[in-house]
């Protein structure tokens, strides 16, 4: 099993290219099930989750063609992938595939809308909370679907003639359930109005792609989205938006280690709240041509309190990384997690590096320390794993991060991007 070795103490300087967003690419790929034409996606990142979903879509009959790698001077590359589902080969998404990645559960929406039926295993993914599928079931039921849980699977069936538009308000904001409702309602008869919808940029990106495919959607990016169902969707060409979580992660790494880095191919507007928190912590962050410039000051980190919230609030997917940054702050900070109940599993691993963190319910109190020291640590989930990398970059000596397959799910070529900016980071394959 691979590990990542980090020797801390080096400031980061240079350019880090930001990849296409995993959290946008996955629902966009799933949208290919809605049409018999070809959906072409540009800027698709090369990640374990993307490759896993490619296998799942292949099981449903999606033909996938990947353009060759195109190298650039900055070392980045993006892929263009063509998805064609002439005929849905299978409306069952089996446990052995879905259990590995929660987002694969989202195929239930397009399959139900296009084929009138779906049998999808209950999902897996990072062990950061229960993340129930109740909202998916309730939303699709509002569109007229019959939903039944049997033997670890959800059996879904649309009424004769297809799904029917309806008004539905989520009792709790859910990005995944909003994705599914957007896709399913695009082919429903009549008008669907989704209340308390997720407002994340990835939801807007999916809506824009569906509109390019012929869907009639308005209000994406607000809490109320209206979808006028159409009989069919066509193919389209769409570029995946930049990964705001990767953007925030590297910005925090620069803030913690010091240095001057340009994050290329991304934009400030994708994560205003997180950028503001990074600025309050003492880093300089500004928009430049083609990206964002971050200047960190290392030992001059200021304590900042944050609370995770749905967009446009502070992203839960950046909570672990920000906690890593706060371990070196000059004072006490607090991080409150309101989205996932088990997303503090990285605390004990940060403590191995010398961090002083105490937990009280869903709030962590972080007392900044003057230095961290390298140690062996273990990744527990995707975002927690990269928080350990950030801390390791600022720690004295060697940090060895194990179970890095979590990292490979969401960060493209992390070691290479950091090494190009002066970090000492290497992957060790046992």
* Binding site members for phosphoenolpyruvate: 22-23
398: helix, strand or coil: strand
Question: What are the residues whose beta carbons fall under 8 Å from the beta carbon of 370, sequence distance 6 or more?
Answer: none
Burial class (CB within 10 angstroms; exposed 0-12, middle 13-18, buried 19+) of 169: middle
DSSP per residue, 281-306: TT-EEEEETTEEEEEE-GGGPPP--E
Binding residues: 22-23, 102, 131-135, 172-175, 317, 339
Torsion angle of C-alpha atoms 346, 343, 363, 248, degrees rounded to 10: 80
Choose the catalytic residue: 85, 126, 209, 421: 126
- Please count the residues of the chain: 430
Closest CA to 401 of 417, 421, 425: 425
* Contact criterion met (CB below 8 Å) for 341 and 129: yes
Sheet bearing 3-7, strands edge to edge: 376-378, 398-402, 3-7, 424-428
DSSP per residue, 46-75: --HHHHHHHHHHHHTT-EEEEPPP---TTS
How far is C-alpha 6 from the chain's CA centre?
24
Active-site residue 421, yes or no?
no
What the block records as the tokens of 12 is: 């980061």
* Contact criterion met (CB below 8 Å) for 232 and 188: no
Distance CA 93, CA 133 (A): 15
| C-alpha angle 119-124-127 in degrees, rounded to nearest 5 | 160
Torsion angle of C-alpha atoms 47, 51, 53, 55, degrees rounded to 10: -170
DSSP state of 400: E
Distance CA 166, CA 189 (A): 9
Closest CA to 284 of 320, 307, 249, 259: 259
Binding residues for UDP-N-acetyl-alpha-D-glucosamine: 102, 131-135, 172-175, 317, 339
Task: Provide the annotated active-site residues.
Answer: 126
């Amino acid at each position: 099993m691979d590990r990542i070795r980090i020797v801390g103490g080096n400031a980061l300087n240079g350019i880090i290219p930001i990849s296409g967003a995993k959290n946008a690419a996955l629902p966009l790929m799933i949208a290919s099930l809605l049409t018999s034409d070809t959906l072409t996606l540009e800027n698709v990142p090369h990640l374990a989750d993307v490759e896993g979903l490619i296998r799942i879509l292949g099981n449903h009959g999606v033909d996938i063609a990947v353009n060759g790698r195109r190298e650039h001077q900055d070392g980045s590359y993006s892929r263009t992938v063509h998805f064609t589902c002439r005929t849905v080969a299978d409306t069952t998404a089996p446990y052995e595939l879905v259990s590995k990645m929660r987002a694969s559960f989202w195929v239930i929406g397009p399959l139900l809308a296009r084929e009138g039926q779906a049998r999808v295993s209950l999902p897996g993914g990072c062990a950061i909370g229960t993340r129930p599928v109740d909202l998916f079931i309730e939303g699709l039921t509002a569109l007229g679907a019959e939903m039944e849980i049997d033997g670890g699977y959800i059996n879904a069936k649309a009424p004769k003639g297809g799904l029917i538009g309806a008004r539905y308000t989520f009792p709790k904001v859910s990005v995944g359930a909003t994705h599914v409702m957007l896709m399913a309602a695009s082919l429903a008869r009549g008008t669907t109005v989704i209340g308390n919808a997720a407002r994340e940029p990835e939801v807007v990106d999916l809506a824009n792609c569906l509109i390019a495919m012929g869907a009639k959607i308005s209000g994406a990016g607000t809490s109320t989205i209206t979808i006028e169902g159409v009989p069919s969707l066509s193919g389209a060409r769409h570029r995946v938006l930049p990964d705001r979580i990767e953007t925030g992660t590297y910005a925090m790494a620069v803030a913690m280690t010091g240095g001057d880095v340009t994050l290329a191919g991304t934009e400030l507007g994708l994560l205003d709240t997180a950028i503001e928190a990074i600025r309050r912590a003492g880093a300089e962050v500004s928009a430049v041509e083609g990206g964002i410039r971050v200047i960190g000051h290392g030992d001059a980190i200021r304590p900042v309190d944050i609370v995770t919230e749905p967009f446009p609030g502070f992203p839960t997917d950046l909570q672990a990384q920000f906690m890593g940054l706060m371990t070196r702050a000059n004072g006490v900070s607090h991080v409150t997690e309101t989205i996932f109940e088990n997303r503090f599993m990285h605390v004990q691993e940060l403590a191995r590096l010398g961090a002083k963190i105490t937990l009280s319910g869903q709030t962590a109190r972080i007392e900044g320390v003057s230095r961290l020291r390298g140690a062996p640590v273990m990744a527990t989930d995707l975002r927690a794993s990269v928080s350990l990398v950030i801390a390791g970059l600022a720690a004295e000596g060697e940090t060895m991060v194990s179970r890095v397959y979590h990292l490979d799910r969401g960060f493209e070529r992390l070691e290479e991007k950091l090494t190009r900016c002066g970090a000492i980071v290497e992957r060790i394959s046992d």
